[in-house]
Structure 1
Amino acid sequence: MNELLSQAIAQWQLMHSIELTATVLALAYVILALKQSLWCWPAALLSTVLFTHVMWQSALLSDALLQLYYAGMALYGWWRWQQIRQSAPGERGPVYEWRWQYHVILIGITALVGWGLGALMAEHTSADFAYIDAQTTVFSVMATLLVARKLVSNWLYWVVIDAVSIYVYAQKHLYFLTGLFMLYTVIAIAGYFIWRSHYQQQPAVNLSL
């Protein structure tokens, strides 16, 4: 019995150590992204590797798949931001925005995909919070692409995603993640206003879909 208890405690400590390290790296990613630093993407890549393990062990299967996507997007984001900097004057390069009609279409399509993923997870897996987890997953996929393309409105999507995620992670007793997403929500609000100010002050730029 004592041996089993010791193993359980050791496993708990290991899981939360991994979660804490991933949390610090993820927080570094968001802060660096707010500052439009290229180094946000290496921080994101390391964080996703650790979070993939945490999500899988917590039976948040959609989130585990999402972390693998984040790893790929970290590589794409590094490349894309370098391209933006090389194609425009200024140390950070410009930020962009789409018309509101594009966002309405994007939200509708993403919500439908999230419903389909949620139904699939609820029917064929043991995933907890299947529909909520699926919606935050697909919207995170979409919002991460908007970050890589440096769209100002990405931060508004993250405000909603992060607020919903706080509830899910608190229910799963992932306390570092819960605290992280509380910080994320505040940073996302600040990020929107900082990027919007940059957008309003820069020369007019165009970005295709």
Structure 2
Amino acid sequence: MSGGEILGTVLGVLGVWLMIRQNIWGWPVGLVQVTVYAWVFYGAKLYSDAILQVLFFVIQAYGWWHWLNNQHTAAHSELPVTRLKGAALTRWLALGAVATDGWGTFMQRTTDAALPHWDAFILVFSLIAQWLQARKKLECWPGWLVVNTVAIGVYWVKDLYLTAGLYVIFWLMAVWGWREWARTVGPVSDRPGQSKTGPTQG
């Protein structure tokens, strides 16, 4: 258990709590947290997870901008929560499956990565969940539930016990977040930036 793992754990819980509350400060907290965990995962040879933190940084920076830029519109005081249509959800799942297999195979053949396909699953579906969260889609929360379930097992096997414990907390918080966001969910939309109530939704 390292100092970085402890710091990342504290920031991770704080960041998710702020996301559940739809508080825009969750994004800058998240930027610091993923920076810390990039070093933690690199040291554990979980290279896909280390790369994931870098990509998270980019998406979180976008999410911060997107929420800030769209929180004041003619119809809403903040960016509303919306849902995906079934066809869009199917496309995301198919893309995730193909990308997981491709990246996992690449990491297995070219690196000494531990648990390459499981690690790839965490990378790919975390990116999908993070993107949907940045777009304020309700489906981000069930996505996080699945990702967190896999992550708990992977991090426990790699002796990252505090991180595994963190993801147990994340799992419970994802259930909470799903419930809280569902209370304020708006119309269904099938593509980023489009919904029945205007181009700034979702």
TM-score by structure 2 length?
Answer: 0.90
Question: What amino acid is the match of 1:67?
Answer: Q
Question: 1:68 aligns to what?
Answer: 54
Q: Is the 2:82–2:186 contact (alpha carbons within 8 Å) kept by the matching residues of 1? A: no
Which 5+ residue runs of structure 1 have no aligned equivalent?
A: 1-14
Quick one: structure 1 residues 200 and 171, their matched pair in 2 at CA, closer, same or farther if it must change by over 3 Å? same
Residue in 1 that maps onto 2:124: 138
Query: SS at the partner of 1:86?
Result: coil
Deviation at 1:93, TM superposition (A): 2.9
1:205 aligns with 2:193: no
Task: List per-residue Cα deviations over 1:7-66 (Å, max 9, x = no partner).
Answer: xxxxxxxx6111100111111111100000010011111011110100000000000000
Does 1 or 2 have the higher relative contact order (CA < 8 Å, sep 6+)?
2
1:105 equivalent to 2:97? Answer no
* Contact 2:81-2:186 within 8 A present in 1 as well: no
Quote the sequence identity (%).
Answer: 30
RMSD of Structure 2 on Structure 1 (CA): 1.8
> What residue in structure 1 maps to residue 100 of structure 2?
114
Q: Distance in 1 between matches of 2:26 and 2:166?
A: 16
The structure richer in helix per residue is: 1
Aligned residue in 1 for 2:190: none
Alignment of 1:186-197 (within 5 A): 186-197=172-183
2:8 — aligned with what?
22
Q: Which one has a larger percent strand, Structure 1 or Structure 2? A: 2
Distance 1:50 1:96 in 2: 31
Residues 148-185 of structure 1, C-alpha deviations (whole Å, 9 max, x = no match): 00001100000000011000000111111111100111
Specify every segment of 5 or more residues in structure 2 that has no aligned partner in the other structure, as ranges. Answer: 188-195
Partner residue, 2:133: 147
1:180: which partner in 2? 166
Q: Which amino acid aligns with 1:119?
A: T
Residue type at the aligned position of 2:108: A
Residues 69-98 of structure 1 deviation map (CA, whole Å, 9 limit, x = unaligned): 111112111100012202254544311111
Counterparts of 1:47 and 1:174, CA distance in 2: 16
Query: Aligned AA for 1:48?
Result: V
Q: Is the 8 A contact 1:34 1:191 kept in 2?
A: yes
Please, what TM-score do these two structures have when normalized by structure 1?
0.87
Q: Is the 8 A contact 1:37 1:92 kept in 2?
A: no
Q: Which structure has the greater CA radius of gyration? A: 1
